[in-house]
């Protein structure tokens, strides 16, 4: 009780599972008047599941062969979509070939050599030059395309659930800042729209690369807003750095996101954020 107000605010935030890196962060959280949320792993649970397998005619692949190829290339990746794809292959008892020369591009996908062939798995909008939205995309699936030596051989559909209480958190953040949070995502627009509708978000920016997320944040900042950005991925790091205040999801968050953020939601409980914003404001009133 004898603690200075800012320190007790940090301690209180800690009790809510939000770890602020310094007292200055509480002051910045108190100023926040706009919120931008990443989709996968932040607003959603981040444990998507494979919901559709569509080998292309002429690829010579059936569903299992397509999944095995994608999973082999994704095996080294920590991305939530990669984990979903390898888990689906495991569930079907598929044996994965070794992958070499693995690389990943945030917001785009992965590349690896599998059985002497170059396999790429990722966003159709990034990997296919003139991509028309597939039926899977129009239905609101997250969709990745699989390329073998440059040629598309099939599509995978994936779906993720909103975190429990996501709609209530969005409502509380709306009440706190006076405007609904905005959804920023690298995923396709229909999938983003579908999730936004489920949780009460109106403004969506989809198909974004990491630098696009940062540009959107800078756009709002230069319009005078003090943006709280919440994210979890490597792809969120530039936006976390650009925002007035960056908060990372702690449990599934990438190391880069954790390093870049000003505060960390330790147990991934997005629902604690509105309370922490409130107590940051209250502490400021006590200090001033
Ligand atoms: P979000 O902004 O929702 O967190 P990301 O920026 O991580 O999403 O990913 C955006 C899109 O890039 C995904 O929907 C997917 O199409 C593609 N992508 C990124 N990483 C991978 C990966 N490891 N495997 C397949 N696709 C990927
Ligand atoms: Mg994410």
Contact at 8 Å (CB) between 251 and 4?
Answer: no
Contact at 8 Å (CB) between 76 and 95?
Answer: no
Residue 5, pLDDT score: 72
Q: Is 140 in the pocket of ligand 1 (CB under 6 A)?
A: no
Residue 3, pLDDT score: 66
The structural domains of the chain, ordered by start, are 5-45+161-287 (3.40.50.1000), 49-159 (3.40.1110.10)
How many Å apart are CA 252 and CA 260, to the nearest integer? 15
Tens digits of residue pLDDT in 96-154: 999 999 999 988 999 999 999 999 999 999 999 887 888 999 999 999 999 999 999 99
Nearest to 185 by CA among 6, 24, 44: 44
Ligand 1 midpoint to CA 96 (Å) = 22
**Catalytic residue status for 38:** yes
Q: Is 146 in the pocket of ligand 1 (CB under 6 A)?
A: no
Low-confidence ranges of the chain (pLDDT < 70): 1-4, 286-288
Q: What is the DSSP letter of 235?
A: G
Residue 148, pLDDT score: 98
Tell me the ipTM for this assembly. Answer: 0.97
- Residue whose CA lies nearest to ligand 1 atom number 16: 123
Q: Is 141 in the pocket of ligand 1 (CB under 6 A)?
A: no
- Which atom of ligand 1 is closest in space to residue 39's alpha carbon? 3
How many Å apart are CA 273 and CA 172, to the nearest integer? 9
Q: Among all ligands shown, which has an atom nearest to the Cα of 183? A: 1
- Which atom of ligand 1 is closest in space to residue 77's alpha carbon? 23
Report residue 232: phi and psi, to 5°: -135, -20
Report residue 12: phi and psi, to 5°: -65, -45
Residue 1, pLDDT score: 52
């Amino acid at each position: 009780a004898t603690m200075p107000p800012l320190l007790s605010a940090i301690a209180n935030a800690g009790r809510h599972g939000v770890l602020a890196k310094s007292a200055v962060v509480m002051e910045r959280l108190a100023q926040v008047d706009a919120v931008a949320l990443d989709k996968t792993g932040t607003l959603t649970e981040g444990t998507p599941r494979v919901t559709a397998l569509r080998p292309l005619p002429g690829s010579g692949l059936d569903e299992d062969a397509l999944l095995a190829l994608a999973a082999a290339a994704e095996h080294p990746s920590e991305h939530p979509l990669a984990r979903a794809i390898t888990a689906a292959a495991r569930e079907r008892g598929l044996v994965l070939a070794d992958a070499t020369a693995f690389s990943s591009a945030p917001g785009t996908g992965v590349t690896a050599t599998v059985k002497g062939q170059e396999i790429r798995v990722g966003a159709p909008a990034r990997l296919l030059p003139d991509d028309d939205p597939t039926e899977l995309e129009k239905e609101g699936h997250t969709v990745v395309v699989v390329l073998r030596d440059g040629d598309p051989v099939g599509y995978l559909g994936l779906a993720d659930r909103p975190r429990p209480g996501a709609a209530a958190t969005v409502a509380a953040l709306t009440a706190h800042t006076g405007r609904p949070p905005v959804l920023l995502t690298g995923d396709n627009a229909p999938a983003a729209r579908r999730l936004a509708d489920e949780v009460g978000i109106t403004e969506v920016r989809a198909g974004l690369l990491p630098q696009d997320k940062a540009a959107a944040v800078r756009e709002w900042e230069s319009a005078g807003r003090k943006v709280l950005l919440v994210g979890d991925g490597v792809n969120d790091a530039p936006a976390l750095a650009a925002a007035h205040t960056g908060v990372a999801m702690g449990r599934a968050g990438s190391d880069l996101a954790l390093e870049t953020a000003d505060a960390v939601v330790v147990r991934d409980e997005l629902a604690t954020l509105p309370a922490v914003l409130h107590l940051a404001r209250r502490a400021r009133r006590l200090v001033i």
